[in-house]
Structure 1
Amino acid sequence: MSVPSSDFSLREIALPAFGPSLLFGMGEGAMFPVLALSARDLGASSAMAGLIVALVGIGSLVANLPAAALATRYGERRAMVGAAAFSLLALVLCLTATSPWLLGLGVFMIGLASAVFLLARQTFLVEAVPLQMRARAMSTLGGTMRIGLFIGPFAAAGFIHLMGLSGAYWMAVLAMLGAGGLSLVIPDLETRATTGAAAPARIHMRTLMRQHARAFLTLGTATALVSALRACRQIVIPLWADHIGLDAATTALIYGLMGGMDMLLFYPAGKIMDTRGRLWVTLPSMLIMGTSLLAMPWMATGFASLLALCLVLGLGNGIGSGIIMTIGADASPREGRTVFLGIWRQITDLGSSGGPLLLSGLTAVASLAVGIMTIGSLGLLAAWMFWRWLPRKAVSR
């Protein structure tokens, strides 16, 4: 039974609920832009530098299911503190690395910590927030992470100016210290799980997968397509900008403006999902993103047209903030929820890993335009799957 939404305000829990995620996102955002450059400085080839950057996502993929076990055993709050501490160790390794392999190990460790932190934060909010406000909570969680990732590079710029590339990692250290310290000192949120009821029995992962196979195969697959679309979007824009002759500075401007659009609408979108239903946001989000990518090879022939399409793409992604976490939370059972969400993250991370591989393969055997349009068609497929399997009305159970 959920807490009445009339007695609950997200504003009252903003700091404990979203503060750690904002700081964690800032830490990751500070280091992401310099990972490849650091690898090159240590003697890595361009291919190896790309692999080292990819180790963040690989680490997250590997850690999703162990993260669920850790959060279940030690609790979400302890898991977040531990993840922040583990990230600090990883950043020290990055700072002291004398070879690309040591840097790669540090980056991989950050990916592991990220999976633990985000899963623990999502599970914590699912329990703490009334069902009638779940989408707003999930979209705000996604929005704060995006804000952190957006602010991080700007915050790191001053440190880099004073200290060189290592300054980005020191900025990340400060952010991770803040995330871990805040997670440690803030009081636990009052959750629906702490109402005096007996703790639910633990359910084996295999049992959950069997019991909820339909949800994983239908809505889980649809959200994996969302992840694939989002991951490819970050690759498509610089590649197509280069294809039409735009320089790196212009491409960065386009990318930054699109990132700003991403952050504008996360809360209104969450409110619409809570009051009108999940389909009112997921369907337009996928249709907008898919259509934008399908149109890119045909319409984006210069700066203005590419910028316009990227802003529309950012709009589609922005209104979809939190949809993966919200749909996963809706589908999750009360007993075994953390493990279920770990499996859900594993499925969606497979999408974010597989999408770029599909794009790369299609580009190699056909062309970049064919690859982009194929990825765009995945957005339309996801829209159809959401239309087919998502409830038409707001969740009220």
Structure 2
Amino acid sequence: MVYLPTILFAVGEGAVIPLIPVIAASMGADVAFAALVASALVIGQLCGNLPAGWAVGRIGERFTMVIAGVIAILAAVGMVLAPSLGVLTASVFLLGMCAAAFGLARHAFMTTRVPVAFRARSLSLLGGSFRLGIFIGPFIAAGLLQLFGNEQAAIWFFLGCLVAMVLLVLFGPDPEKTIPAITQVRYAEDSGEPVSGSIPTIERAGIFQTMWRQRAVLGRLGLAAASLSAVRSARQVVLPLWGLSLGLDATTIAIVVGVSGAIDFALFYASGQVMDRFGRLWAAMPAMVLMGAGFLAMSFTHDLDASVLWFGLFAGVLGVGNGLSSGILLTLGADVAPKREPAAFLGSWRTLTDAGGAIAPLLVAAITAVSALPFAAAAMGVISLLGAAGFLRWIPRFVPRARPETENE
């Protein structure tokens, strides 16, 4: 009940994401507009985090997931029946908002119910569930294309996953009721003595009030986390562009990127083990330094005789670094979230990290346009190393190594 709904959503979404530009192109969009339609998913996810934080804080994780699933079904139907590119773009944007709500609801649930002792491993498994969908979803889409010869078959598959997910969440055992919250506020037992003074109540802070109260951690540790998200996103853009710039064919590029993704997926649980056993910094620093060094070193290999070999090597290095970072953003967000009502804070946290992921491809495109792709890769390497310095400075301050599990804030 905790991981299966996530896997259903992620596998279906992973099957649809690669085909969004193809569907847009089949409806008459040029390359630039097809890219705009595909980017609507990321923009929708970015815009959906704050409303999702509000919804989870008011109606709970379970009903937020059900509502997000129902709206995602409507969005998928809109993609199938879209009469124009405008409707298709709006449907993709709405799907991104639903993905944000679903992800935040599960993140908030894990934050309030998983003990600190194995929080990182559980959240790495949650991150691995999303990675599983992105990893095997395209293969499912390819099989459906071969079987039916129509891109819409993948959307129908996504609809089936969404219906199964909604039914599972709606009628299955509710984890919110079966798993007690470990951060609930504790009150003193009734002693029978008269009470003087007022009875304490919990103030429900709004989204923007929470952002203001938590501005210190968001403006420091949050920016370091955004840099990690930016480097992850840049990896997905730089590697295919690098292969194209070397003159490689699409099959070779797909194999290199696929091997890098397989390495990434294989290491997702190792990150949680490291964070729980040795501390968050021991996973964040190697991941950021590896990706930063990988981008910087790769930027010097473009014109070498063995440039293709170096491309494959550094694609693997970036895959290792990204795999070691699995679950870090989820875990750090859970660590620093207010214990009574984490949803509003997590909405702000995820908005900040998603913004880093959304800006990175634009930055790569801009630097490549005014100079060259190696300079863009080097710039992402510098951002990664700056993010590593930020983690080194701010994780010890905001995430102490030893935290009592009975702590209430």
Normalised TM-score (structure 1): 0.92
The aligned counterpart of 1:170 is 156
The structure number with the bigger radius of gyration is 2
Amino acid paired to 2:65: M
Partner SS for 1:396 = coil
Can you list the C-alpha shifts for 1:308-348, whole angstroms capped at 9, x where unaligned? Answer: 11111111000100101111111111133100000001111
Q: Given the alignment, which residue of 367, 370, 375 partners 1:365?
A: 370
In structure 2, what is the Cα distance between the partners aligned to 1:178 and 1:318?
Answer: 29
The aligned counterpart of 1:130 is 115
Q: Counterparts in 2 of 1:112-131, with a 5 A limit? A: 112-131=97-116
Q: Counterparts in 2 of 1:350-389, with a 5 A limit? A: 350-389=355-394
Can you list the C-alpha shifts for 1:217-270, whole angstroms capped at 9, x where unaligned? Answer: 111000000111011111101111011111111111111111111111221210
Q: Given the alignment, which residue of 44, 48, 72 partners 1:63?
A: 48
In structure 1, what is the Cα distance between the partners aligned to 2:322 and 2:94?
Answer: 28
Give the Å deviation of 1:45.
1.3
Q: Counterparts in 2 of 1:17-166, with a 5 A limit? A: 17-163=2-148, 164-166=150-152
Give the Å deviation of 1:140.
0.9
Q: Is the 8 A contact 1:135 1:271 kept in 2?
A: yes
Partner SS for 1:81 = helix
Cα pair distance change 1:395/1:238, threshold 3 Å = same
The aligned counterpart of 1:298 is 300
Give the Å deviation of 1:162.
2.6
Give the Å deviation of 1:194.
8.7
Partner SS for 2:166 = helix
Amino acid paired to 2:322: N
Confirm or deny that 1:394 pairs with 2:401. yes
Q: Is the 8 A contact 1:274 1:394 kept in 2?
A: no
Q: Which runs of 5+ in 1 are unaligned?
A: 1-15
Amino acid paired to 1:169: I
Amino acid paired to 1:306: F
Can you list the C-alpha shifts for 1:11-46, whole angstroms capped at 9, x where unaligned? Answer: xxxxx1111111111111100111111001101111
In structure 1, what is the Cα distance between the partners aligned to 2:286 and 2:135?
Answer: 24
The aligned counterpart of 2:181 is 192
Partner SS for 1:329 = helix
Q: Which runs of 5+ in 2 are unaligned?
A: 188-200, 405-409
The aligned counterpart of 1:314 is 319
In structure 1, what is the Cα distance between the partners aligned to 2:372 and 2:21?
Answer: 26
In structure 1, what is the Cα distance between the partners aligned to 2:185 and 2:359?
Answer: 43
In structure 2, what is the Cα distance between the partners aligned to 1:70 and 1:223?
Answer: 24
In structure 1, what is the Cα distance between the partners aligned to 2:174 and 2:241?
Answer: 45
In structure 2, what is the Cα distance between the partners aligned to 1:395 and 1:55?
Answer: 41
The aligned counterpart of 2:248 is 246
Amino acid paired to 1:192: A
Deviates more, 1:299-308 or 1:311-320: 299-308
Give the Å deviation of 1:77.
0.9
The aligned counterpart of 2:195 is none
Normalised TM-score (structure 2): 0.90
Q: Is the 8 A contact 1:60 1:115 kept in 2?
A: yes
Confirm or deny that 1:342 pairs with 2:328. no
The aligned counterpart of 2:192 is none
Give the Å deviation of 1:393.
5.9
In structure 1, what is the Cα distance between the partners aligned to 2:266 and 2:279?
Answer: 20
Q: Is the 8 A contact 2:183 2:340 kept in 1?
A: no
Amino acid paired to 2:255: L
Give the Å deviation of 1:195.
6.4
Give the Å deviation of 1:148.
1.2
RMSD: 1.7
In structure 2, what is the Cα distance between the partners aligned to 1:180 and 1:271?
Answer: 31
Partner SS for 1:333 = coil
Deviates more, 1:261-270 or 1:237-246: 261-270
Amino acid paired to 2:20: L
Q: Given the alignment, which residue of 233, 236, 239 partners 2:238?
A: 236
In structure 2, what is the Cα distance between the partners aligned to 1:197 and 1:104?
Answer: 47
The aligned counterpart of 1:12 is none
In structure 2, what is the Cα distance between the partners aligned to 1:323 and 1:128?
Answer: 18
Cα pair distance change 1:294/1:196, threshold 3 Å = closer
Amino acid paired to 1:93: G
In structure 2, what is the Cα distance between the partners aligned to 1:395 and 1:58?
Answer: 37
Give the Å deviation of 1:212.
1.6
Can you list the C-alpha shifts for 1:67-111, whole angstroms capped at 9, x where unaligned? Answer: 111111111011111111111111111111121111111111110
Give the Å deviation of 1:185.
2.7
Partner SS for 2:167 = helix
Give the Å deviation of 1:196.
8.3
Give the number of aligned pairs: 382
Amino acid paired to 1:345: R
